[in-house]
Amino acid sequence: MSSYTAVIPVRDFDEYIHNKNVLPFLDSNLLLHKIRTLLRVGKISSIIVYTESETLKEVALSERGVKVLNRPKILATKNTVFNDLIVDVSSRIKDTNIILTNVTCPLVTPEDYTNAISSYEESLKNGFDSLITVNRVKRYVLDDNGPLNFRKEVDSRTSLKPPIFYNLIGAFSIAKSSSMKEWKYNWGTLPFMYELARLRSVDICTEDDYKIACALATLKL
């Protein structure tokens, strides 16, 4: 099974930013920008926008070759359980590898997707079952109770090397549709962690995130 289907879940409702999915971005908007990025990825055979919104369906269908999949309204609210969404998507999109990707990470390039697909294919041969996007994090971390990965009694800047953590980025994931249906999730127990460049990992959750993404986009990093 070597086909790849990109699925873009979007909805009208957002708790933080009004009309987030169609905010202006470069010469279009976030949804169109994501679609046009994916259209430049040769290994992707199908692009599906998964939405309940008639407005977003119209935007998606303005690009040739893009399909829409009706998202049940019960799966487009602030109370939506992510597992239920995954079951719905993977039950209706069969016999393919699903690239689940978000419009809120607009700085991901066609090359990122292409390279990730190659990494995914190689990782399957080595026992991995899916791919997720991450950033490598090597920081001194505290919680409300104090240090988590260093001791104050030792000069942490020179004497201790903090362990490496991986920050999960919601840019995209890749897995077989049949596996997603079984897991009720978009990645499994042995995901390959694909490191995405930090400057292309901005995920728009707030107005500040949006401003940062727009500023970085103009730099053509």
- Output the DSSP codes for the chain: ---EEEEEE--S--SSSTTGGG-EETTEEHHHHHHHHHTT-TTEEEEEEEES-HHHHHHHHTSTTEEEEEPPGGGSSTT--HHHHHHHHHHHS-SSEEEEE-TT-TT--HHHHHHHHHHHHHHHHTT--EEEEEEEE----EETTEESS--TTS-TTTT--PPPEEEEEEEEEEEEHHHHHHHTSSS-SSEEEEEPPGGG-----SHHHHHHHHHHHHHT-
Range of 28's domain?
4-219
Q: Tell me what pLDDT residue 82 has.
A: 96
The number of folded domains in the chain is 1
pLDDT, tens digit (0-9, with 9 covering 90-100), for 94-124: 999 999 999 999 999 999 999 999 999 999 9
- What is the pLDDT confidence band of residue 157, given thresholds at 50, 70 and 90? low
Strand partners, 69: 50
Q: Is the dihedral of CA 147, 150, 154, 155 positive or negative?
A: negative
pLDDT tens digit sequence for 1-43: 589 999 999 999 888 898 999 999 999 999 999 999 999 999 9
pLDDT of residue 221: 59
Of 128, 92, 123, 103, nearest to 5 by C-alpha is: 92
**Model pLDDT, residue 160:** 61
**Greatest distance between any 2 Cα atoms in the chain:** 62
The reported pLDDT for the residue numbered 154 is 65
Q: Kindly state the tokens that stand for 119.
A: 């990494």
Give per-residue pLDDT as tens, 123-142. Answer: 999 999 999 999 998 888 88
- Say which CATH number the domain at 48 has: 3.90.550.10
Pairing verdict, β 142-143 and 146-147: antiparallel
Which candidate, 118, 125, 107, places its Cα nearest to that of 42? 118
> What rounded mean pLDDT belongs to the chain?
93
Q: What is d(CA 114, CA 121) in angstroms, rounded to the nearest whole number? A: 11
Smallest CA-to-CA distance from 136 within 187, 204, 197, 203 is with: 197
Phi, psi torsion values for 45, nearest 5 degrees: -95, -15
